[in-house]
Amino acid sequence: MSEEPFINGFLPDKNPLKLLNTNDKSLNYLHEITSALPKLLLTNQIRLKVKNLNFDSLDIRELSQRELKCLNVQLSFLAHAYIWGDKTPNTKLPSPLSELWVKVSNNLGRPPVLSYASYCLDNWHKIDPNKDISLDNVALNYNFLGGIDEDWFVTIHICIEYAARGAISSTHRIVHLLLDDSQPENIKKELVKILESLQEVNFIFRKMPDKCDPYIYYHRVRPYIFGWKNNPALPNGLIYENCFDDVPQLFRGETGAQSSIIPTLDALFNVKHERDELRDYLDEMKNYMPPEHRKFIDYVESNSKLSEFIEKNQDLQEVFDLCLSEISAFRSQHLQYASDYIHKQNTKNTLFGTGGSVVRGTGGTPFMRYLKKHRDETDKSKNRKS
């Protein structure tokens, strides 16, 4: 991995597509109904519209990877709207929606479920194409019910990914420098860049409450991004009609744990997660990431000896610890949001009837305990000589 990857961080190098430029009537119809999800969900028309899908004339081999990602976003939003868009979830996803979704997901190397990549990374456009990605210049391509709170929730994540691009680039450079027996000043230069990048990430992350209300998030955003693994609402999983021999499948829902930023930094800074249910969950989350992201994380995990380098060059310990403090601060902020946006809302016992679990996170985990453990294990990686 000699060439520097991910110039936009883990966002795509080219802006995501919203519309496939095709004369295929089935894809035009798919775009039409996916764009209208807020109205279709409001009027209970979504399941009727899905019955009219027909992709018999479509050959996905003619589509580029960029086009396939756009198609996967549309299919993922439509499928989740179909499943969760009523008082009780639907236990079977009908063909041809199921068949095309499975085919496209297999091509992209990810499970057929709404993942972080489709919900966030591939689901935006710049309002002014000539300006940078920012909270003032990003809009979503697709959403469920729509509104400021839903858009802001995803926009924050998009801008975090963009702010982290410096940290990801420096991670790649540090690994190469370590392999080349680098001088300490070169490593320090990159660590400073990581620190500055993470400070920007945390600055953006703290803005979540500005336009995303906990009540709205819990009752109008969160229910649609659940999966069907460890979810009491779909205890046996989901049947994809005419796929998997009609055996129900278990996939986790969209969650920030599917972002590649923190796993990459954990790998670089040699943060150790104890072998337990949490570690297994973190490893499982890689299956929901784009394959190129998984490959990069594995590359960093296999080659980073940064902590050993710091032990031999104690002048770098301070900036090393400052970087870890920013990662810990991110995890502490995440823990606070989990409490405010989920745990406290759950205790009010005012469920919104769209299925989904009120006990576990959207990824199907006991999130409060996990997030605390994430943070504590990050802190343990600091001050190795103290």
Centroid of chain to Cα 187: 29
User: Is 59's pLDDT higher than 50?
Assistant: yes
Q: Residue 297: inside a domain, yes or no?
A: no
Locate tokens 């032990």: which residue?
311
**CA separation, residue 160 to residues 131, 259, 261, 342 (Å):** 17, 10, 9, 21
98 lies in some domain: yes
Asked whether residue 53 is assigned to any structural domain, the reply reads yes
Radius of gyration of the chain (CA): 21
Sign of CA dihedral 334, 339, 342, 343: positive
Q: What is the pLDDT of residue 378?
A: 72
Q: For strand 124-126 and strand 138-140, is the pairing parallel, antiparallel, or unpaired?
A: antiparallel
32 part of a folded domain: yes
Residue 371: predicted pLDDT: 62
d(CA 264, CA 321): 17
Whole-model pTM: value is 0.92
Per-residue pLDDT of 126-160, as tens digits, reads: 999 999 999 999 999 999 999 999 999 999 999 99
Of the candidates 285, 284, 372, the residue with the CA atom closest to the CA atom of residue 333: 372
Give the CB-side neighbour count of residue 123, counting CA atoms within 13 A. 27
Q: Identify the weakest region by mean pLDDT among 24-38, 185-199, 276-290.
A: 276-290
Is the alpha carbon torsion for 125, 127, 128, 134 positive or negative?
A: negative
Asked if the structure places residue 76 within a domain, the reply is yes
- Do 293 and 300 form a contact (C-beta atoms < 8 A)? no
Q: How many domains does the chain have?
A: 1
The pLDDT score that the predictor gives to residue 169 is 97
What percent of the chain is predicted at pLDDT more than 70?
90
Domain membership of residue 154 (yes or no) is no
pLDDT at position 363 is 46
Q: What is the pLDDT of residues 298-350, one digit of tens each?
A: 999 999 999 999 999 999 999 999 999 999 999 999 888 988 998 888 877 44
Q: Which CATH number covers residue 19? A: 1.20.58
Q: What is the pLDDT of residue 373?
A: 67
Asked if residue 158 belongs to a domain, the reply is no
Taking 70 as the threshold, does the pLDDT of residue 1 lie above it?
A: no
* Residue 79, pLDDT above cutoff 50: yes
CB 239 within 8 A of CB 92: yes
User: Is 210 part of a structural domain of the chain?
Assistant: no
What is the spatial distance between Cα 23 and Cα 323, in angstroms, rounded to a whole number?
50
| C-alpha–C-alpha distance, residues 21 and 32, integer Å | 13
In whole numbers, what is the pLDDT of the chain averaged over residues?
90
Cβ neighbours for 52, distance < 8 A, ≥ 6 positions apart: 29
User: For 195-224, what is each residue's pLDDT tens digit?
Assistant: 999 999 999 999 999 999 999 999 999 999
Which has more pLDDT, 290 or 279? 290
* Domain interval for residue 61: 7-140
